Amino acid sequence: MKAGWIGLGAMGAPMAGHLHAAGLLQGAWNRGAARRDAFADRFPDAAIVESPEALAEAVDVLALCVSADADLAAVLDRVEDRLAPGTVVVDHSTVSPAAARSAHRRLAERDVAFVDAPVTGGVEGAKNGQLAILVGGDAEAVNRLHPLFAAYGKVWKHLGPAGAGQAAKAVNQLIVAGIAEAVCEALALVEKLDLPADDMLELLGGGAAGNWFLDKRGRTMLDDSFETGFEPALLLKDLKICRALADEAGLASTVLPGAIADYQRLVDGGETGRDISALIRLKR
């Protein structure tokens, strides 16, 4: 298998690194030169290609990890006529199910398979190769991707046709948003009640309130440090996708309105380069 990688951001770069370590990475590319250079510095024997078009011509699996619907469409605009019949494009971005289904139809006309496979597990999961992968697409194409998924995932499930992976990711992000709201409010209350922070983190994490977000972000939130993690603007984008799906399904969410409003405030306030745990600043 010869795999190419497009998108070397906070999640994509470590995932591509694991693929390189597994001997499956034919080449990588990123729109911004700074991220290409950073990846080359970290993995000096990995091939950085000059363009996505050149990469598309050289691989039988092309993996993408970009930001939004428009980015996915822009990449496909550049590569689709360079992909050989039988190639699989696997998209690890978080986009709308409609965008995934559109990509699937578009590439099927060229006998190219499209698999939507968004991931969850945070930057830490990407770095440690411990991501959960939510997969939609044709079974035959999904089966071909198992060696890739094994390089950076701890679990993956084929959930249905194209778009199913993105629908599942929307469910995941609804949970993420609800937990973040609760944890940030709770730790803001810990501060207001002047309870001992370290003891409270240990007790909360060791009981029924324990969760990934509290474990990975609790200490940094109380230290007012938000430099590593998941950007608020990206979660806001995801939650708007989730809101559209909930509306279509007739689900009246009590979590989404408040979370979307809060993360809109963070983005408008200039927190775009920080972690979503910066939400605690609003709760304070």
pLDDT at 72 over 90: yes
Pairing relation of β-strands 153-158 and 131-135? parallel
135 and 201 co-located in one domain:
no
User: Residue 1: what pLDDT?
Assistant: 87
232 and 121 co-located in one domain:
no
**138 three-state secondary structure:** coil
Domain that holds residue 248: 167-283
Among candidate residues 118, 144, 161, the one where a domain is terminated: 161
pLDDT > 70 in the chain, percent? 100
144 and 268 co-located in one domain:
no
185 and 157 co-located in one domain:
no
DSSP structure string for 141-152: HHHHTHHHHHHH
80 and 204 co-located in one domain:
no
CATH of the domain at 16: 3.40.50.720
CB 242 within 8 A of CB 173: yes
Q: Which of 169, 192, 216, 283 is catalytic?
A: 169
Tens-place pLDDT, residues 143-188: 999 999 999 999 999 999 999 999 999 999 999 999 999 999 999 9
pLDDT > 90 in the chain, percent? 96
47 and 153 co-located in one domain:
yes
213 and 93 co-located in one domain:
no
Structure tokens at 18: 């694991």
Q: Identify whether 169 is a catalytic site residue.
A: yes
User: Residue 271: what pLDDT?
Assistant: 82
Q: In which band, very low, low, confident or very high, does the pLDDT at 204 lie, cut at 50, 70 and 90?
A: very high
150 and 212 co-located in one domain:
no
Tens-place pLDDT, residues 6-29: 999 999 999 999 999 999 999 999
> Which whole number is the average pLDDT over 203-229?
95
Structure tokens at 104: 């699937």
* Residues near 34 by beta carbon (within 8 Å), at least 6 away in sequence: none
The pLDDT mean for the chain works out to 96
Structure tokens at 111: 């006998």
| Residues linked to residue 90 through DSSP beta bridges, in sequence order | 63, 115
47 and 93 co-located in one domain:
yes
Among candidate residues 138, 161, 184, the one where a domain is terminated: 161
Q: In which band, very low, low, confident or very high, does the pLDDT at 273 lie, cut at 50, 70 and 90?
A: confident
Half-sphere exposure of 142 (CA within 13 A, CB side): 20
Distance from C-alpha of 122 to C-alpha of 216, rounded to nearest angstrom: 10
96 and 175 co-located in one domain:
no
Please state the pTM of the whole predicted model: 0.93
189 and 273 co-located in one domain:
yes
CA 21, 231, 56, 41 torsion-angle sign: negative
CATH of the domain at 182: 1.10.1040.10
Among candidate residues 117, 143, 161, the one where a domain is terminated: 161
Q: How many domains does the chain have?
A: 2
User: Residue 135: what pLDDT?
Assistant: 98
Q: In which band, very low, low, confident or very high, does the pLDDT at 268 lie, cut at 50, 70 and 90?
A: very high
User: Residue 227: what pLDDT?
Assistant: 86
pLDDT at 228 over 90: no
> Which whole number is the average pLDDT over 53-78?
96
112 and 29 co-located in one domain:
yes
